[in-house]
Amino acid sequence: MSEKAIEKTPVEKTPVEKTPVEKTDVWQGTLALMVLKTLESLGALHGYGIARRIEQTSGNKLALNYGTLYPALLKLEQEGYVASEWGISDNNRRAKFYRLTAAGRKQVAQETREWETTTEILARFLELEAQSS
Amino acid sequence: MREKLRQVRAWFLRFGGLFRKQRSDRELAEEIESNLQLHIEDNLRRGMTPGEARRQALLKFGGVEAAKESYRDRRGIPFLDHLLQDIRYALRTFRRNPIFTLAVVATLALGIGVNVTMFSVVDALLFRMPDHVRAPEMIVDVSLQDSDPGRAGIFGCYPGYLRLAQNSRLLDVAAQGFATIDFGRGTDAREIQARMVSHTFFDVLGVRILLGRAFSKEEDNPAAGAQVVVLSHALWQKQFGGDPHILNREVWIGDHQYSVVGIAPQGFNGPGFSIVDAWIPIADQPLIWGGQGILTNEGARWMETIARPHAGVSLRQAEAEATSAYVHSGGAPGGTVQLTPRFASRLETLSENARISLWISGVAFIVLLIGCANVTNLYLVRATQRRQEMAVRLQLGASWGRLVRQLLVESLLLSAIGGAAALLISFWARTIARTFLLPANAYQGGFLNWRLLAIGVSLTAFTGLVSGFAPAWRLSRPVVMEALKSGGHGRLLMGSKLRSGLLVTQVALTIALTIGAGLFIKSLRHAESYDRGFEPGRVLLSSMQLGRGSYKLADVLAIYNRLSERARTLPQVENTAIATTIPLYGGIYTSVGIRDEKSGFRGEMAAKNAVTAGYFATIGVRFLQGRDFLPTDRAGSEKVVIVNETLAHDFWPGESPIGKCLQFVNNHPTCSTVIGVVSDQIKSLAAGHTFSRNSGGPSMNTADAYVPMDQYLSEEYASPPSGILIRTRGNPAEAQRSVFAALASVAPGSRFVNVRPLSVLLDPQTRTWRLGASMFGFFGSLALLLSTIGIYGVLAFLVRQRTNEIGIRMALGAMPQDILRLIVWQGMKFVVFGLVIGIGAALGLSRLMASMLFEVKPTDATTYAVSCGVLVFVALVACLLPAWRAARVDPSTSLRYE
């Protein structure tokens, strides 16, 4: 049974409202890559920092619900691409810091390659359409 | 691949996430809170007011609870999470209804328990492989396919084995012969089951000797055989207390001293399933059986050859190679060696035990079904009580599927508890079942194996689903819920059609079982009271393992005579006699006949038995004519014979045979004068088992010819006497001990004397019926009990449901007896319906049982009538109790109650 097929009984649980963006698989995949890439360039970061950084990198074109980041981080941690530990932030606040593992580094490289290939192929198709019209 | 591993790792972590929730929740809350604070501080730095900073941060975060929820879904496995929830909920429900829970668990534990027990027996008979044998499926039986029956059995003799063992390059070959020998001396003496085996035996089977070693090649040399023995673990424990210094101890085996060289691992019985106590080199065969020549005799058939093909060699290759090896080593051309896997399917050739066990397993399964029906009924009752709860949950938005699942989890959980209890029950019950159903000296083995566990688990899942599904389906059906919500509650009968169906099925199955039990009980009664023409009840049988050549026939007779005379001095003993064939044993069949002028020689096969005077009086056979043997009927005097009724009738119908000449056709015909006629003795109750008479058709009677022991022993092909028959004055079991003590005191070389009641030989003959009667009887009673509870439960529930209606009826003038009739009929109409179906089923099924019955037709009217009577009576009682309560309903209270 897939997770989405689970029916929740309101009696026992509060219903979860999901944003349309979050539901798409592409988004899940790209979010993971964004997180990994951010960690690769900046080293250890807490969740809030990652979210801010992603928004900044996108030139504020992406409006991210910060809350969606935590399940994504948990998934990456379960897969062994990131590791987390509690630490002290710049402004002296206890926070959980995430950093890339060796496996995560490899994963970034691989996914980057895959994305490049995909976008390259797509780009060719888009060009093709422009020519024919 | 790497991806996959990551996935697996993630699943493991998620599985772990099902537990330690509180800590993880706390940590998440802390993380979110700290990140929010970081955000707020940033916002403050940008000049927002504290309130605004917090509001914006929360807005940006997008729903803390939602984030936590999807985090939790990712942390654990939602499906399992819900399952755990359901299980916890179910356990709470059970605690609230202990009686309901106990009733369900007890019923299922009993039902599953008897099935697991029966399966453990079937498993032992059909699927168990011998212990300690490496890759037992590779062990083959070696036989020769040859048109000449004389040569076909060549691998049953030692030279045949040797030929293959020495010449085959693709087979490892071993031989084993059977021997019952006596072990020890004096008070410790006992009879043991031994195997005479080749030195290759343990290697071919791949068994590791526990202590010491197996035989060497030199010790298995017929020219210079060493007297060495490997003992079984059980014998070592029992006879020597597991003495660790047992090696090189000298033990008595028959007339010889053997040195213990090894102890076999616990439970090892060679390539078979009956208990073996010791192994000795096959080259010692002459020491055990006495006499020379059997080892070199190509005509003897006394052992078996087994083999294991080398790794990677197919059976066909091995057969071809073995055939050429056999022929090249001097075997007769034209024959082909056949290799048959020894432990291949035992399903095709069912043993008698396996056949009975399968029948009983089927019966046990029926009992389980009846039990399931009761449990379903209980669920339905409870479902009616839980309508309110379900309605609320549905209305609050719980999905229908989720409710079905919740209810199924409850029923599966109950059957799981029942299943666990069932394992305990069958652990206890298996001893009883196995004693009844496994061959007397079969190795019982361990209790739990994966097959048994698999059956237990499947039965548990089966009962959980079968008993729980229908109630769950009905209970959670939205239509029903609508009906409930619209206010009709109290009146609605949950699944009344289902209930009636269950009731009818229960009654049908029960009557079928009861009829089966009745047929077997009647068979057993007939078999046990059958007049066999003699009285085995008061006779003891005594015998010794006196070899087959180490003692001369006259010596054996002398020993038995000595024992016999000693026995006769005891006050408990009335009479004794010695015979070459013990009553109930097969017998030595010879051709006998008469010669007359008209038709020349006319003969038939008869069982020949040499006996001493007093034999007939000892076992209680009636003389019809003539006299018993006298001491004067000895070797050299006129040859005399006593015949039985059947033989007399076959040769001299309508006239007295006394004084007539009966010819025994051996190599040269001789004439014996008939001096007496005795009544027939039924040796076996299995019709057609013995030689059929001229009258045609199978018969239990055989033609018997008795000759005096003295005259017989001078014959050329005489067999030694096989034992003494002792007629006791009272119960033979009571005299057994003193007879044994007396005989042991005069036994040659203080060797073991076996003394046992003759009736133990009868038991195997009535076994089928005794088993059928006890097992069908047991399961039939169980079924009857369960059905009664079922009928009672349904009616009691019905009465409670209809209290209101009954009140109205009574208020309108119905008399208590009207109500009684109404309720009783309500139940009995299903009972009658079930009876009709069940009798139909019994008529069909009992036909399959016909071969297992004795002098009872599968359609025996009395049995059917009595069974129906019993069931109707019990059902009536079950109906009357609730009906009586209904008839005493006080209309005013019942109406007000509503």
Let me know: does B362 contact B115? Beta carbons within 8 Å: no
A-interface mutation test, from B2, B13, B24, B34, most A Cβ less than 10 A away = B34
Rg of chain A taking only CA atoms, in angstroms: 18
| Token pair 């005795």 in the structure block, residue | B678
Contact B398 A6 (CB under 8 A): no
- Does B84 reach chain A within 8 Å, measured CB to CB? no
Contact A70 B399 (CB under 8 A): no
B62 vs A9, A67, A80: nearest CB: A67
| Strands laid side by side in the A94-100 sheet | A45-46, A94-100, A82-88
**Given this model, what pLDDT does residue B240 score?**
92
Mean per-residue pLDDT of chain B:
84
Contact B35 A95 (CB under 8 A): yes
A11 vs B31, B60, B398: nearest CB: B398
- Does A116 reach chain B within 8 Å, measured CB to CB? no
Side-chain-facing half-sphere of A128: CA atoms under 13 Å: 6
Q: Quote the CA–CA distance of B270 and B44 in Å, as a whole number.
A: 87
Let me know: does B474 contact B494? Beta carbons within 8 Å: yes
| Token pair 């069909």 in the structure block, residue | B844
Q: How far does Cα B627 stand from its chain's mean position? A: 48
Calculate the alpha carbon distances from B548 to B124, B294, B721, B751 in Å.
Answer: 35, 11, 11, 16
- What one-letter code names the amino acid at B131? D
- Does B402 reach chain A within 8 Å, measured CB to CB? yes
| Token pair 């402004």 in the structure block, residue | A91
**Given this model, what pLDDT does residue B896 score?**
65
B9 vs A14, A74, A80: nearest CB: A80
3-state secondary structure (DSSP) of residue B504: helix
Q: Quote the CA–CA distance of B371 and B787 in Å, as a whole number.
A: 8
DSSP B408-445: HHHHHHHHHHHHHHHHHHHHHHHHHHHHHHS-TTB---
**Given this model, what pLDDT does residue B480 score?**
52
Report residue B8's pLDDT band, with 50, 70 and 90 as the boundaries.
Answer: confident
Q: Quote the CA–CA distance of B489 and B492 in Å, as a whole number.
A: 6
- In the predicted model, is pLDDT for residue B666 greater than 70? no
Q: Which helix (H) or strand (E) holds B536?
A: none
Instruction: Report percent pLDDT > 70 for chain A.
Output: 74
**Given this model, what pLDDT does residue B277 score?**
93
B10 vs A7, A79, A91: nearest CB: A79
- Burial class of residue B469 in the structure, from the number of CB atoms within 10 Å of its CB (0-12 exposed, 13-18 middle, 19+ buried): middle
| Token pair 């989890």 in the structure block, residue | B409
B38 vs A75, A81, A89: nearest CB: A89
Contact A70 B71 (CB under 8 A): yes
Q: Quote the CA–CA distance of B366 and B786 in Å, as a whole number.
A: 11
- In the predicted model, is pLDDT for residue B689 greater than 50? no
Least confident of B119-128, B281-290, B322-331, B473-482: B473-482
**Count of other CB atoms within 10 angstroms of residue B742:** 20
A48 vs B13, B35, B74: nearest CB: B35
- In the predicted model, is pLDDT for residue A26 greater than 70? no
B-interface mutation test, from A1, A2, A4, A11, most B Cβ less than 10 A away = A11
DSSP B637-699: S--EEEEEHHHHHHHSTTS--TT-EEEEESSS-EEEEEEEEE------SSTTSS---TT-S--
Q: Which helix (H) or strand (E) holds B212?
A: strand B211-212
- In the predicted model, is pLDDT for residue B484 greater than 60? no
DSSP B573-608: EEEEEEESS-TTS--EEEEEEEEETTTEEEEEEEEE
The dihedral over CA atoms of A51, A55, A61, A64, expressed in degrees to the nearest 10, equals 10
Q: Quote the CA–CA distance of A118 and A115 in Å, as a whole number.
A: 5
**Given this model, what pLDDT does residue A3 score?**
39
Alpha-carbon gap: B91 to the closest alpha carbon of chain A (Å): 17
Which residue of chain B comes nearest to A75, CA vs CA?
B74
Report residue B483's pLDDT band, with 50, 70 and 90 as the boundaries.
Answer: low
* In chain B, residues 184-203 whose CB comes closer than 8 Å to chain A: none
**Count of other CB atoms within 10 angstroms of residue A16:** 15
- What one-letter code names the amino acid at B308? R
A79 vs B6, B35, B63: nearest CB: B6
**Given this model, what pLDDT does residue B175 score?**
95
Least confident of B57-61, B371-375, B688-692: B688-692
Residues B662-677 have a mean pLDDT of 81
* In chain A, residues 54-93 whose CB comes closer than 8 Å to chain B: 65-68, 70-71, 74-75, 78-81, 89, 91, 93
Q: Quote the CA–CA distance of B439 and A27 in Å, as a whole number.
A: 70
Higher pLDDT among residues B15 and B282, named by residue: B282
**Given this model, what pLDDT does residue A16 score?**
41
A-interface mutation test, from B8, B24, B32, B74, most A Cβ less than 10 A away = B74
Least confident of A4-13, B116-125, B282-291, B707-716: A4-13
Report residue B476's pLDDT band, with 50, 70 and 90 as the boundaries.
Answer: low
**Given this model, what pLDDT does residue B445 score?**
63
Q: Which helix (H) or strand (E) holds B306?
A: strand B303-309
- What one-letter code names the amino acid at B444? Q
Alpha-carbon gap: B101 to the closest alpha carbon of chain A (Å): 25
Q: Which helix (H) or strand (E) holds B355?
A: helix B352-385
**Given this model, what pLDDT does residue B482 score?**
54
Q: Quote the CA–CA distance of B801 and B796 in Å, as a whole number.
A: 9
**Given this model, what pLDDT does residue B668 score?**
61
B66 vs A10, A46, A67: nearest CB: A67
**Given this model, what pLDDT does residue B330 score?**
81
- Burial class of residue B195 in the structure, from the number of CB atoms within 10 Å of its CB (0-12 exposed, 13-18 middle, 19+ buried): buried
DSSP label at A91?
A: T
Residues of chain A with C-beta less than 8 angstroms from the C-beta of B26: none
A71 vs B34, B61, B74: nearest CB: B74
Higher pLDDT among residues B389 and B609, named by residue: B609
- Does B8 reach chain A within 8 Å, measured CB to CB? no
Which residue of chain B comes nearest to A90, CA vs CA?
B38
Let me know: does B540 contact B757? Beta carbons within 8 Å: yes
Q: Quote the CA–CA distance of B721 and B379 in Å, as a whole number.
A: 68
Contacts across the A-B interface (CB distance below 8 Å): 111
DSSP A19-72: -HHHHSHHHHHHHHHHHHHHHHHH-SEEHHHHHHHHHHHTTT-----GGGHHHH
Residues of chain B with C-beta less than 8 angstroms from the C-beta of A14: 65, 69
Phi and psi at residue B533, to the nearest 5°: 85, 0
Least confident of B58-67, B234-243, B361-370, B659-668: B659-668
Calculate the alpha carbon distances from B195 to B139, B172, B189, B268 in Å.
Answer: 18, 19, 18, 12
Least confident of A12-21, B176-185, B373-382, B592-601: A12-21
Which residue of chain B comes nearest to A18, CA vs CA?
B66
Instruction: Report percent pLDDT > 90 for chain B.
Output: 26
B397 vs A6, A9, A68: nearest CB: A9
Q: What angle do CA B13, B16, B21 make, to 5 degrees?
A: 120
**Given this model, what pLDDT does residue B840 score?**
93
Pairing of β B211-212 and β B256-263: antiparallel
- Does A113 reach chain B within 8 Å, measured CB to CB? no
- Does A95 reach chain B within 8 Å, measured CB to CB? yes
B64 vs A67, A89, A94: nearest CB: A67
3-state secondary structure (DSSP) of residue B541: strand
Helix axes B64-75, B50-61, angle to 10 degrees: 40
Residues of chain B with C-beta less than 8 angstroms from the C-beta of A89: 34, 38
| Token pair 């079928």 in the structure block, residue | B512
Alpha-carbon gap: B1 to the closest alpha carbon of chain A (Å): 13
- Does A104 reach chain B within 8 Å, measured CB to CB? no
3-state secondary structure (DSSP) of residue A9: coil
**Given this model, what pLDDT does residue B332 score?**
77
- Does A3 reach chain B within 8 Å, measured CB to CB? yes
Each residue of B392-434: pLDDT tens digit? 777 777 777 778 888 888 889 999 999 999 888 888 887 777 7
Report residue B276's pLDDT band, with 50, 70 and 90 as the boundaries.
Answer: very high
**Given this model, what pLDDT does residue B515 score?**
93
Contact A16 B401 (CB under 8 A): no
Determine the longest span between alpha carbons in chain B, in angstroms.
Answer: 143
Q: Quote the CA–CA distance of B397 and B466 in Å, as a whole number.
A: 27
B-interface mutation test, from A4, A6, A9, most B Cβ less than 10 A away = A9
Residues 6+ apart with CB under 8 A from B98: none
The overall pTM is greater than 0.80: no
Which residue of chain B comes nearest to A10, CA vs CA?
B397
Torsion region of B730: left, alpha or beta (phi above 0 gives left; psi -120 to 50 gives alpha): beta
Residues A54-77 have a mean pLDDT of 84
**Given this model, what pLDDT does residue B664 score?**
84
Each residue of B23-61: pLDDT tens digit? 888 888 888 888 888 888 888 888 888 888 888 888 888
Torsion region of B334: left, alpha or beta (phi above 0 gives left; psi -120 to 50 gives alpha): left
Q: Quote the CA–CA distance of B661 and B674 in Å, as a whole number.
A: 6
Residues B514-528 have a mean pLDDT of 89
**Given this model, what pLDDT does residue B229 score?**
94
Each residue of B489-499: pLDDT tens digit? 444 444 577 78
Which residue of chain B comes nearest to A69, CA vs CA?
B67
ipTM: 0.75
Least confident of B147-156, B283-292, B442-451: B442-451
Q: Quote the CA–CA distance of B404 and B476 in Å, as a whole number.
A: 6
- In the predicted model, is pLDDT for residue A6 greater than 50? no
Which residue of chain B comes nearest to A91, CA vs CA?
B38
Let me know: does B387 contact B484? Beta carbons within 8 Å: yes
- Burial class of residue B280 in the structure, from the number of CB atoms within 10 Å of its CB (0-12 exposed, 13-18 middle, 19+ buried): buried
**Count of other CB atoms within 10 angstroms of residue A48:** 26
Q: How far does Cα B205 stand from its chain's mean position? A: 26
Residues B641-664 have a mean pLDDT of 90
